[in-house]
Amino acid sequence: MFHIVFFEPRIPQNTGNAIRTSAATGNMLHLVEPLGFEMSDTKLKRAGLDYHDLAHVMIHPDFDALMAYLESEGTGRVYAFTGHTDNRYTDVSYQPGDALMFGPEPTGLPDEIMADPRITRLLRIPMRPGIRSLNLSNSAAIATFEAWRQNDFGGGV
C-alpha cells in the first residue's frame, strides 16, 4: 500500500524493526545503499524476529535507482521526513502508493536529497524543544500508521 524508504540506514536494529512494521502493515520497505551493515547481521535478524519472510524488502544501489523504481510503479508522491520544516506529517492526506522517506541515523537526509525536485514535500513529526531526533524505526512506524489509519487500515484486522 505504501513505500517506506530508509536512505542509507546505519543501525541494523532500526532496519530490523522496520521489517517488522512492514510485515505487520503490508507495506514495502526500501533500503538505499550504502547500508551501514550486512543484511545477514544478527542484530538486524533479531530485531526483525521471524518476520523477514513476511516483509517485502528491496535494496536500491542509490537514490536515482530508488526513484526510477518508484516512478515505474506509478508512485507520484515522495514525502521526506526531517526536523528542518514546519510541515507536520498529520497535515497530509496520504494515498496508497505514497513513499515515506527517512534519513540515516544520526544525520538525517542530506540537503541535496531534500532539495531534489522529485520530493513532494518535507514533513516533520513534532516533538518537544531541545530534543534532537526520534528513533528512526519509531519515526517510520508513527508515519506509516498515520498513513494507514487515513486509509482505514486497508487489509488490516
Question: What residues does each domain of the chain span?
Answer: 3-150
Does the annotation list 103 as a binding residue? yes
125 annotated to a ligand binding site? yes
- pLDDT tens-place values along the chain, 157 residues long: 899 999 999 999 999 999 999 999 999 999 999 998 888 878 776 655 566 677 899 999 999 999 999 999 998 799 999 999 999 999 999 999 999 999 998 899 999 999 999 999 999 999 999 888 899 999 999 999 999 999 999 888 8
CATH number of 3-150: 3.40.1280.10
Sequence-separated contacts (24+) of 62-67 with Cβ below 8 Å: 62/32, 62/33, 63/7, 63/32, 63/113, 63/116, 65/32, 66/5, 66/30, 66/32, 67/116, 67/118
Q: Is 93 annotated as a binding residue?
A: no
